Chains A and B, each alone.
Chain A
Amino acid sequence: MQTTVRKWSLLLGAAAVLAVSQVAWAQLTKYDLESRMGTESHIGNITGHAKDAKADYRRYCVVCHGELGDGNGESFPWVDPKPRDFQLGVFKCRSTPTGTLPVDQDLFDTIARGLDRSNMPQWSTFTKQERADLVAWVKHFSPRWVSEKPGTPIQIPPEPEITAERIKAGRDVFAKVQCWKCHGVQGMANGPSAATLTDDLGRPIAPFNFTEGARPKCGSTDQDLFRIFMTGLDGTPMPSFADNIKPEEAWDLVFYLRTLEPQKSKEKAIAKQLALKPVDPNAPAGQQ
């Protein structure tokens, strides 16, 4: 699907593209990129410049993400999950609502954090300046950063104390919004819909398995978990639950999710004490 190249000029007559029912996403040329070489990023008091990241991108990134940032580098056929296509401006790990661009800090964090269970390493050895420059470079691949502003990061209220009530309430949220449809009632990534999931490009994708002790792709702190289900992971089947989970309920869910993990935690100890059972998928709504 990626290989179907459609000329950018076609977009100028956008009305003419209606007949396209297959995914045939546009591809930029070197010329388009050259014109955006002045792209900047702002991380705290550091300003990143796209042009300064050219050498680093070539040294570290181009092998997967490609000269044109389209994720079609030489390793594309061999790596799974596939490298991100920066031209689309769609990113999993955001602090901003679904359908919006991430803020610079999100990309900055992702570069250092890497993406667990993928070929994206933790580039934590870079200087902050290098990472900021690379953020600007990543942005210069997509015209979205010219026409749109990044979303407003979602509000994360201060983390409350972990209590048995909150963990039980979190279990109710897990049942109510039906996380188990994909993640399974025990978080083993074996829900009824798990096997048929595909990403936005139609490639098979697995839901996160909480029971393996692996790190979630977008971070493993409590705040990261909060962000993940409230913003969704764009480009994947993971939707945003921002409309359906209230912020205080969200903390309950975070605590409950911790009980599914194999790691020792306060949440897990409480769950054991409560003899908490997995949610019942057949129970009528609201009667767990």
Chain B
Amino acid sequence: MRVSRRSHLRNISNFAMPLFSVALVLVSVVLTCSQPANALPAFARKYGLRCSACHESWPMLNYFGQKFKDNGYQLMNDRDAPIWQNPGYWPVTFRIIPLWHRVSTGKVLVDTYSSGNPSPTGSAVQRLTKSGFDLSGLDFHTGGTLEKNFSFYVLPSSDATASFHFETVMARLDNLFGSGWFNIKLGKFELDNLLSEKRILTLTGNGGIYQLYHFIPQGDGNIFGQMGDNQLGVELMGHSYSDRTRYSAALLSSNNGTVQLPYGNAYTGFFAASQAFDTGKAGVQRVGFYAMVGQAPTTFLTSGGPTGPIPGSGIGNKSFSREGFVGQFYFGQHVDLQVVTQHGQDSAWFGQGYGDFIDTGATTTCNGGQPCNNTTGTVLPAGSQGPTWNGILFEPHYVYSPQLIFIGRYETIRMSRQANGPDSASPSASNFGNISTYTIGYRYNPFMTSRAGFAWHNEYNWLHQDGTGPTLGLTSANVNTSELLLGFDFDF
């Protein structure tokens, strides 16, 4: 079973599927969009603090909230252990979002009919727009301490149709050797992304994720490499007393958070470090970097034919990497800017669609109709090269007050090397699969207490992707998708 969320994350980039269904799935993104966020009134209740103490705007953390999280959901006041709580206290929080939205996708290939003939007589490209009332998925957050310096977090999360998966399950040993520099976490958890996608302030299908955290080139078969998804692994992290300096190093299974070892014995390393600086009246500025380097299988043993891969049998590991800089810049009490960059690289095998053979085994073909399995004798088509790309994300905020925040975002990802290079039979256009997206929105919390969170949310997103639309003549069309969303985002 794949995590339901992933289907929409991948759909933007699924080259091998018929373009028509790509577009349709793109439109349906919003239906399955559930962005689990770790905003926990359970913590607010436990400590008698308001959301705003830990969140710049719920669910995005501020520096104090980040420190609380880095301490293992502890204030470090020797009263963190549950033994100090009222026995009736149970750290659980529900979050769901009733909403209205309108999604419009340009250039969808549709069948055309002529009078008297029930079968399609041709096809045309047109805009597809839908609107209506809807729901997000539902998150059951529970987390905190089992005992002083023993933390946990469990998050069963459903999509909008109540199909559940475990978004987060982890236990953490905090402050080993009495030092904040050593904390070990085991389970499924979010990578140590300073700009956390689980705490994103936006909700639309394309704007409710960081494209940078999920980007894979068109047609790429890498089963891994999505920094935004929660991963299974072990993490060592540490920080200074005031959290100004922090680092983390994680060893992860290369299966993108999917349970039951569906692929093989491949691992990925993720490393992040950052340093914050006190710059007086401007605030605290933080700069850091991250690097993710790993391997994932491209070869699977098969049973009952070449399209029947045996789960867990992956070998033929190929490498990939993602690395970049992160900056959190504050300009006084109201304005801040979050910046993330990325340089990504996949092996040429992934670029040709090898990798995710367990899920796509029966439906996807590579290299002129072969199953996408890198078995003995398989060769890459001429002109194949490892795809590379560069991306950048700017997210400015205007925090009018702890109760009202305006959010903007611009993200762009540009391919710097296509999988089908200039020497291949059908070279890709240099901008094929490039993404640009803008998001603007605001969140207004009409009240603020230490018991529950409630935000009136209004957001608009526009996403442009080059060359992934229906083919018109010799060139593929670009696709523009826009979405307007209004909703009540609440947790309790």
Contacts and interface: CB of A to CB of B under 8 A. Distances in A.
Contact of A125 (B63, B76, B281, B449): B63
A127 B77 contact: no
B77 A121 contact: yes
Nearest to A56: B333
Contacts of B281: 127, 129
A33 B50 CA distance: 23
B278 A128 contact: yes
B280 A127 contact: yes
Dominant SS at the B interface?
A: loop
Contact of B402 (A58, A117, A123, A125): A58
A32 B449 CA distance: 26
Given A55-B333, A114-B77, A117-B78, A60 B278 contact: no
A52 B281 CA distance: 10
B98 interface: no
B79 interface: yes
Contact of A60 (B64, B242, B283, B449): B64
A63 B47 CA distance: 11
B452 to A, nearest CB: 12
Given A59-B402, A114-B77, A125-B63, A119 B47 contact: yes
B477 interface: no
Q: How many residues of A sit at the interface, in one of the four size bands?
A: 20 to 34
A215 B281 CA distance: 31
Interface in A44-80: 52, 55-56, 58-60, 62-64, 74-75, 78-79
Contacts of B279: 127
B77 A59 contact: no
Interface in A113-133: 114-130
Given A58-B402, A114-B77, A127 B283 contact: yes
Nearest to A83: B48
A244 to B, nearest CB: 30
Contacts of B47: 119, 121
Contact of A117 (B48, B50, B79, B243): B79
B278 A122 contact: no
B78 A125 contact: no
B78 A63 contact: no
B50 A63 contact: yes
Contacts of B284: 125, 127
Nearest to B49: A63
A118 B68 CA distance: 16
Given A125-B63, A127-B278, A63 B75 contact: no
23 contacts: A52-B333, A55-B333, A59-B50, A59-B52, A59-B53, A75-B48, A78-B48, A112-B242, A114-B75, A114-B76, A115-B77, A116-B77, A119-B75, A121-B77, A122-B77, A123-B64, A124-B241, A124-B242, A125-B63, A125-B64, A125-B67, A129-B281, A130-B283
Given A64-B49, A118-B77, 19 more contacts: A52-B333, A55-B333, A56-B333, A60-B49, A60-B52, A63-B48, A63-B50, A64-B48, A78-B48, A117-B79, A119-B47, A119-B48, A121-B49, A121-B64, A121-B76, A124-B241, A127-B283, A128-B278, A215-B78
A-B pairs, 5 with minimum CB distance:
A75-B48, A124-B242, A125-B63, A59-B52, A121-B75
